[in-house]
């Protein structure tokens, strides 16, 4: 089948259009084809047509069955009941895969917003709004970029990566009077292009993601089944969930801003090292990091409340903003937690619960996770640390530029940068520096170090994330019907507790799911398509509710980032090869957290409680990846010293989540920020002469 025939498969086959109208039949709201699918295919072109030949074969089969049902009739000429009977047979027998593909396309067209179709009919039918009515959109002013022709020959520091670690390093160094070149791989993209798209966002991407990195950034996904090459335009769950954008993941995160517990810094001391694992203690304690946690909360901007969620973490200061107010999901689970005797509280969030530092308060939109904020109330590297660095006059941002090699020497370092990287004529620049700070994330940081021939055998090893579990049920009230910003209530009673082994984890309420997610995964007993499915989307969907669990993952030396053989990026450098092995201890954490999450839902009166399976990212690179340049006082067990200085190098410092020896039981970003303040502060104190 040719490309033109691919694009015309729906125009050619009336059976497919008729089938779409039975998947989403007409009622008080339009049927699928006229209600959005036709327009979707028109503007999306070939993108949704992953299997156009299969769809054409499905159309032929439907017409064949139509003729058997009524002599000489095509599928489109049958009545609705006859069409439904044929589709039910196809769904249950040969043609299942093709019918599932058709159902996916129908739901994408009816229930999923994207940049070309921000408000399809299905969103209006179920009451989904991108922002509350009357919201005034506020776009952050991104810093002006330095033209590549104006890059100086020398800077005191080159910082590679603008996420939380790199942003903090840039701020601390610039405020100390050092000249800083901050190198960001992606172009300066406004927030408006990073939200309201349910087909291309990092969390739920059906197609290429809007937060990079795009083509020319291949990775190899390695497993016992063999190696698979995945490029940066593909499935984010396979490629890796870390966002590529100015500000890194903080541009689109929901902002859960937890401290690790004191026990998280001494995991090996507490639990021992299970056979085959590489569990170690941090070279620092909670007490050493506590002042930097306080600084992180105040300089990033965190809304929280002291109480049940903070009592096991000694604090020297409260939060700069009050916690977010309650909402129905919190009320339901709080009552259930009380009945179980569990402590609970509002989740600390790096979002403005009130106007803060000249920016407005959160408007509690329904798509915070994975999307840029519509009112600039989401706090991240891009609107806190980096603007402060720029304000000193000592820091400039070089957008659309990729560091491809670091050369290290006792008298100074240099970085080879490909600037104007997405243009037809990129420029190769070599910049000298007293210090190079590598903050490119737990995959790209070790890839760059390895490609530069830097570091010891520990570089790239021990990559790990968190174990997760999602438990769903049905409740009697609409407790999470597109109420933002996302997760609202948590309990830490299963962190370093007797209920779950190996340090356990946190339980939170499940955020409100995007409409397309609900359409593709209806509740038990709800048909996957047809009249009852559409009715459930409109009336029953809002009663689905869940608990999300996240817990410790035990690192393994075989889980690692290496350089791929024969797989090169756009600059001829080896791509990252990722392998992720899962220790049985991590599986025990996951199972225990799922069990406790189900208990919480059941105590809340939920029915049909069940765990969703296969929800963990398939890649080694999850949203919380860490450990690939872990800190240690001994180069035999780590890639850097306790201050992020790369063992065996003179002028190279790592300053991101790669440094974390273990990842705690909660989201690690605040710990990343706090540790970055600690690393950068010491770097200033020990500045090389």
Identify whether the C-beta of residue 203 lies closer than 8 Å to the C-beta of residue 211.
no
Give the mean model confidence (pLDDT) for residues 527-536. Answer: 98
Bigger pLDDT: 650 vs 617: 650
Q: How large is the average pLDDT for residues 564-568?
A: 97
d(CA 265, CA 663): 9
Q: What is the pLDDT of residues 225-262, one digit of tens each?
A: 999 998 887 677 788 888 899 999 999 999 999 999 99
- Taking residues 425-432, what's their average pLDDT? 97
Evaluate if residue 286 carries a pLDDT over 90: yes
Which residues have a Cβ under 8 Å from the Cβ of 524 and sit 6 or more positions away?
A: 608, 610
Strand bridging mode 303-304 / 321-322: parallel
Residue 4: pLDDT band by 50, 70, 90 thresholds?
very low
Q: Write down the pLDDT at residue 242.
A: 84
Mean pLDDT in residue range 292-300: 98
Q: Is residue 379 part of a domain?
A: no
With contact defined as beta carbons under 8 Å apart, do 362 and 377 qualify?
yes
Q: Is residue 671 part of a domain?
A: no
Half-sphere exposure of 27 (CA within 13 A, CB side): 14
Residue 467 tokens, joined: 């174990």
Q: Is the residue at 99 inside a domain?
A: yes
- The string over 56-94, giving b where at least 16 C-beta atoms fall within 10 Å of a residue's C-beta and e elsewhere, is bebbebbbebbeebeeeebbbbbeeebbbebbeebeeee
Q: What integer best gives the mean pLDDT of the chain?
A: 95
Q: Exposed/middle/buried for 550, CB within 10 Å: 0-12, 13-18, 19+?
A: buried
Query: For 347-376, what is each residue's pLDDT tens digit?
Result: 999 999 999 999 999 999 999 989 999 999
Question: Residue 102: inside a domain, yes or no?
Answer: yes
pLDDT digits (tens, 9 = 90+) for 47-65: 898 889 999 999 999 999 9
Q: Does 5 score more than 60 pLDDT?
A: no
Mean pLDDT of 615-643: 91
Domain assignment of residue 77, yes or no: yes
| DSSP-assigned letters across all residues of 439-492 | -SHHHHHHHHHHHTT-S-TTTTB--B--EEEEEEEE-SS-TTSS-SSS--EEE-
* Number of independent structural domains in the chain: 1
What pLDDT score does 618 carry? Answer: 67
For residues 230 and 631, which has the higher predicted lDDT (pLDDT)?
A: 631
* Residue 82 falls inside a structural domain: yes
pLDDT recorded at residue 2: 41
What pLDDT, in 10s, does the model give residues 383-419? 999 999 999 999 999 999 999 999 999 999 999 999 9
* 80 has pLDDT over 90: yes
**% of the chain with per-residue pLDDT over 70:** 98
Residue 433 lies in a domain: no
Does residue 35 surpass a pLDDT of 80? Answer: yes
Task: Please tell me the predicted confidence (pLDDT) of residue 205.
Answer: 64
Kindly report the three-state secondary structure assignment for every residue of 216-229. Answer: EEEEEEEECCEEEE
Summarised one tens digit per residue, pLDDT across range 170-186 is 999 999 999 999 999 99
Q: Does the pLDDT at position 569 exceed 60?
A: yes
Angle at CA 216, nearest 5°, toward 396 and 414?
Answer: 40
Does any domain span residue 33?
yes
pLDDT at 615 (0 to 100): 64
Let me know: does 628 contact 461? Beta carbons within 8 Å: yes
Range of lowest pLDDT (26-30, 257-261, 481-485, 524-528): 481-485
Q: At which residue do the structure tokens 């910003």 appear?
A: 485
Q: What pLDDT, in 10s, does the model give residues 329-342? A: 999 999 999 999 99
- Residue 100's domain comprises 3-111
Percent of the chain at pLDDT above 90? 89
């Amino acid at each position: 089948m040719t490309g033109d025939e691919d694009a015309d498969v729906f125009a050619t086959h009336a059976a497919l259009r008729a089938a779409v109208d039975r998947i989403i039949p007409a009622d008080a709201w339009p049927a699928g084809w006229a209600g959005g699918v036709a327009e979707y295919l028109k503007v999306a072109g070939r993108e949704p047509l992953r299997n156009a030949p299969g769809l054409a074969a499905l159309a032929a089969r439907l017409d064949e069955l139509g003729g058997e049902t009524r002599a000489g009739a095509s599928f489109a000429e049958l009545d609705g009941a006859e069409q439904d009977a044929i589709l039910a047979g196809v769904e249950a027998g040969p043609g299942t895969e093709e019918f599932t593909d058709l159902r996916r396309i129908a739901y994408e067209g009816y229930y999923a917003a994207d940049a070309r179709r921000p408000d399809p009919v299905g969103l209006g039918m179920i009451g989904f709004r991108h922002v509350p009515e009357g919201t005034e959109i506020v776009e952050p002013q991104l810093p002006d970029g330095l033209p590549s022709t104006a890059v100086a020959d020398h800077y005191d520091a080159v910082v590679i990566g603008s996420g939380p670690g790199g942003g903090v390093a840039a701020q601390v160094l610039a405020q100390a009077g050092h000249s800083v070149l901050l190198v960001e791989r992606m172009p300066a993209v406004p927030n408006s292009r990073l939200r309201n798209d349910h087909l291309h966002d990092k969390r739920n991407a059906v197609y290429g993601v809007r937060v990079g990195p795009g083509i020319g950034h291949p990775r190899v996904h390695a497993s016992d089944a063999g190696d698979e090459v995945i490029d940066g335009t593909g499935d984010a769950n396979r490629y890796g969930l870390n966002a590529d954008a100015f500000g890194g993941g903080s541009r689109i995160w929901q902002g859960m801003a937890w401290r690790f517990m004191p026990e998280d810094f001494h995991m090996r001391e507490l639990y021992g090292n299970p056979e085959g694992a590489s569990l170690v203690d941090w070279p620092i304690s909670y007490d050493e990091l506590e002042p930097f946690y306080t600084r992180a909360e105040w300089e990033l901007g965190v809304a929280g409340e002291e109480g049940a969620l903070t009592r096991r973490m000694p604090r020297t200061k409260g939060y700069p903003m009050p916690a977010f107010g309650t909402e129905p999901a919190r009320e339901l689970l709080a009552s259930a937690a009380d009945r179980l005797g569990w402590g609970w509280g509002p989740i600390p969030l790096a979002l403005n619960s009130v106007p803060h530092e000249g920016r407005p308060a959160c408007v509690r939109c329904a798509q915070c996770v994975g999307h840029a904020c519509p009112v600039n109330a989401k706090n991240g590297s891009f609107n806190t640390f980096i603007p402060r660095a720029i304000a000193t006059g000592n820091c400039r941002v070089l957008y659309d530029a990729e560091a491809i090699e670091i050369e290290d020497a006792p008298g100074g370092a240099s970085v080879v940068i490909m600037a104007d990287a997405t243009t037809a004529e990129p420029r190769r620049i070599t910049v000298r520096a007293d210090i190079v700070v590598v903050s490119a994330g737990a995959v790209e940081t070790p890839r760059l170090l390895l490609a530069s021939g830097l570091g010891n055998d520990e570089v790239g090893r021990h990559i790990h994330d968190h174990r997760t579990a999602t438990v769903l049920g049905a409740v009697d009230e609409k407790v999470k019907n597109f109420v933002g910003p996302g997760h609202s209530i948590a309990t830490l009673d299963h962190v370093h507790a007797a209920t779950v082994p190996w340090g356990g984890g946190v339980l939170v309420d499940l955020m409100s799911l995007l409409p397309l997610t609900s359409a593709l995964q209806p509740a038990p007993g709800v048909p996957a398509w047809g009249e009852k499915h559409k009715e459930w989307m409109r009336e029953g969907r809002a009663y689905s509710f869940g608990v999300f669990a996240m817990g410790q993952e035990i690192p393994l030396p075989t889980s690692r980032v290496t350089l791929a053989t024969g797989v090169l990026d756009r600059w001829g450098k080896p791509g990252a090869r990722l392998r992720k092995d899962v220790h049985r201890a991590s599986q025990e954490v996951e199972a225990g957290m799922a069990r406790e999450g189900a208990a919480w839902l059941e105590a809340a009166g939920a029915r049909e409680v069940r765990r969703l399976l296969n929800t963990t990212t398939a890649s080694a690179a999850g949203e919380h990846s860490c450990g690939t340049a872990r800190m240690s006082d001994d180069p035999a067990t780590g890639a850097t010293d306790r201050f992020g200085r790369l063992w065996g190098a003179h002028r190279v410092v790592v300053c991101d989540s790669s440094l974390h020896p273990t990842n705690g039981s909660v989201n690690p970003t605040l710990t990343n920020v706090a540790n970055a303040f600690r690393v950068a502060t010491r770097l200033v104190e020990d500045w090389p002469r």
